[in-house]
Structure 1
Amino acid sequence: MNHEIYKKQIKSAIEELKILDLYRLDSDSELLNKAFDILYKKEIFKLYKIDKSLHNEYKFILFSMLTKYSGSLAFLSIQILAANAIMAGNNFPKQEEYFAKKCGVAINHLRAPVTVVWATPCEGGYRLKGKLTWASGYKIFDTLLIGFHYNGREYEAMARFENSENFQVGEVASSFVGDSMATVNIELNDFFVPSEDVVSSKVMGNYTKHKSISKTVHFALYGVGLGAVEALQDKDVKASAKSQLESIKEQFLETESGEVMDRLRIELFTLIQSVITTGMVLYGGKSILLEEKMQRYYRELIMFNSNGLNNTIKGLFKENFLSR
């Protein structure tokens, strides 16, 4: 697969998406599931079949084209791409079987300095206890990549994403954006993970220490920005916004510095927030209607920017505000 073939696959999927009531994708889980299936069947998420060094190029193409149609759909795309990338980076017995699944992720707790989910070894695998948080895509993803600690090591493993006595799915969290993604917390109560479903086992702290510089949030924010610029009706504002957005894009595509990426994230967020606010003001009162794009872009901007926030990025946002 090359760039042009991938773009054609995405364009074909988007043509099918356009038939749906796209403004309802943020609130209707069944409709979001249908939209996700369109992308899945078009093999949009099979980036594990191409060289890892090219993944960012393909993800940039995907989120540049997709995000303006639905932030919730783009967010779930981030989840399955992350799960597939982790599976592709580890050789485990059921890799091909799980590549064929719709897989989400619930491993952010591995960054915590304490054990959140712990394991007891048993015949044929492990018994898990603890709590998985912020697992999105309930009843959309059929499988979940989960994380746990045992004996000074951190593990990643596959699990069915369905409610059971030992895998207790909580109530869907209500939110002002991405409600359709059905984000839940999960109580693990003596939950059994077979050894053959273990994807990786590394020294504790490996997930945080070796987490690569990710540009995925930047790609998604940029996609929101493209949608917002396209929706602008004032020619002068549109021209200026497009120029500023493209300038930041060139910078985050070029750099491999984590410090620069963090700074550009703040610049990107601030610019897009200003573009959306200005566009809504110039459009007038109708901009608050649910079927209007700008109010959705505003909410999705907040959603994507909340992904992967750490103390460094929070500090930069604070510094940026106080410097006004």
Structure 2
Amino acid sequence: MPDTYKKYIKNLNLVSKELQNQPLEKVDESVKNLKKCFDIAYNNNCFKLYNYDKELQDKLKLKLFSKLTKHSASLTFLAIQILAANAIMSKNNFPKREYYFDKKCGIAINHLRMKGSFVTAKKCKGGYKLNGVLTWASGYKIFDHLLIGFHHKDSEMEVLTEFKEIKGFTIVDTPETFVGQALNTVNIRLENFFVKDEDIVSTNPIGNYTKNKSLSKTVHYALYGLGLGALDYINDEKFKNISKKKLKKIKKDLLNSNDGEELDKIRIKLFNLLQNIITLSMIIDGGKSILKEKTLQRYYRELIMFNANGLNQKIKKLFVEEYLLNN
């Protein structure tokens, strides 16, 4: 194994130990506590996977989520975003990527997979003026920059800008959620919001984001990391051993697959397995499992948070079909 890999894993283990000492039961609700955890991982270079070749990046991402998610799924949610922003900059050979690699960049691009145009642009001197509403932009006051997706004519484009209220960029509200409130997810209104040509990261035909997302394993890795965390809270050895074997089997299928349709089915199997593991573990523990400071009830909510993210109609239909087939 390359020394760089071993060095990364050693560093990740140290970060994991430091995170363990944080008040993790508060991280889900407190922006301050989540930011502290994010900064611990960020300042120790956990998110600089662009320094490694593609094959090694995937292995390190799995290791990263396996360590982070058991501490906080909200932290992993932010990790997914900054990794995505960095990967998009790298893939497109963005000229200013080195500058932005030193920033904390979130993303607001999921609306690109929806039908219609939520954010549109008009070309102007030196850049574009954006109009529309960005929903579910996470990491406000944690990220300092934001990768925004928008449509211009027949193109799907992405641009980097500061993540703060300035002219044409207004925070509309911060929805209340039953999980991940610390993510400080906001809705943003763009009104002739000017972005520079030099900050345009990518330009592709409309539909490019949806195509690439279908082959992503990121949510799978996050769910798997949550499963590893849940195993530590099973208070029945037989149930624990069986669950460990089932999770290992799905991990093997996941790592061996690069087919979009198969990955969708694996995601459903993984979700259903984790739901059963977490729910049965709570039943075994009894009434105390619903106490706010207990980890399993948080894992249950975080499981829903992960699996509600990035669902297209195709995956939703597969979930329904799976339910009807087995009930």
TM bucket normalised to smaller: over 0.9
Aligned equivalent of 2:183? 181
CA contact (8 A) 2:15 2:44 kept: yes
Give the share of equivalent positions with the same residue, in percent.
Answer: 52
Distance 2:61 2:249 in 1: 19
Aligned equivalent of 1:119? 121
Mark the CA change 1:92 to 1:259 in structure 2 (over 3 Å): closer, same or farther. Answer: closer
The alignment status of 1:168 with 2:176, answered yes or no, reads no
Aligned equivalent of 1:23? 25
The alignment status of 1:129 with 2:99, answered yes or no, reads no
Distance 2:221 2:20 in 1: 22
Q: 1:190-217: per-residue Cα shift (whole Å, max 9, x none)? A: 1010111111112222222344511111
| 3-state SS, counterpart of residue 284 of structure 1 | helix
In the TM superposition, what is the alpha-carbon distance from 1:150 to its structure 2 partner?
1.3
In the TM superposition, what is the alpha-carbon distance from 1:270 to its structure 2 partner?
0.8
In the TM superposition, what is the alpha-carbon distance from 1:95 to its structure 2 partner?
1.5
In the TM superposition, what is the alpha-carbon distance from 1:269 to its structure 2 partner?
0.8
Aligned equivalent of 1:107? 109
Distance 2:286 2:5 in 1: 40
Question: Gaps spanning 5+ residues in structure 1: where?
Answer: none
CA contact (8 A) 1:133 1:185 kept: yes
Pairing 1:172-321 to 2, within 5 Å after superposition: 172-211=174-213, 213-321=215-323
The alignment status of 1:145 with 2:129, answered yes or no, reads no
CA contact (8 A) 2:117 2:151 kept: yes
Distance 1:265 1:203 in 2: 27
The alignment status of 1:36 with 2:38, answered yes or no, reads yes
CA contact (8 A) 2:139 2:184 kept: yes
CA contact (8 A) 2:173 2:188 kept: no
Q: Which amino acid aligns with 2:303?
A: L
Q: Which amino acid aligns with 1:154?
A: E
Distance 1:253 1:137 in 2: 29
Distance 1:114 1:184 in 2: 21
CA contact (8 A) 1:64 1:220 kept: yes
Q: 1:35-89: per-residue Cα shift (whole Å, max 9, x none)? A: 1000000000001111123321111111111111101001100010000000111
Mark the CA change 1:246 to 1:92 in structure 2 (over 3 Å): closer, same or farther. Answer: closer
Distance 1:172 1:109 in 2: 18
CA contact (8 A) 1:147 1:156 kept: yes
Distance 2:82 2:119 in 1: 22
CA contact (8 A) 1:92 1:196 kept: no
Distance 1:113 1:180 in 2: 29
Q: What count of residue pairs does the alignment treat as equivalent? A: 324
Distance 2:150 2:315 in 1: 26
What RMSD in Å do the two structures reach over aligned CA positions? 1.2
CA contact (8 A) 1:155 1:201 kept: yes
**Which of residues 3, 7, 10 in structure 2 aligns to 1:8?**
10
| 3-state SS, counterpart of residue 2 of structure 1 | helix
Distance 2:265 2:114 in 1: 24
Q: 1:201-242: per-residue Cα shift (whole Å, max 9, x none)? A: 122222223445111111111111111111111111111111
| 3-state SS, counterpart of residue 161 of structure 2 | strand
Aligned equivalent of 1:56? 58
Distance 1:208 1:236 in 2: 41
CA contact (8 A) 1:25 1:180 kept: yes
TM (norm. structure 2) is 0.96
CA contact (8 A) 2:25 2:293 kept: yes
Distance 2:214 2:178 in 1: 30
| 3-state SS, counterpart of residue 170 of structure 1 | strand
Distance 2:160 2:10 in 1: 32
Distance 1:271 1:91 in 2: 39
Could you tell which deviates more after superposition, 111-120 or 299-308?
111-120
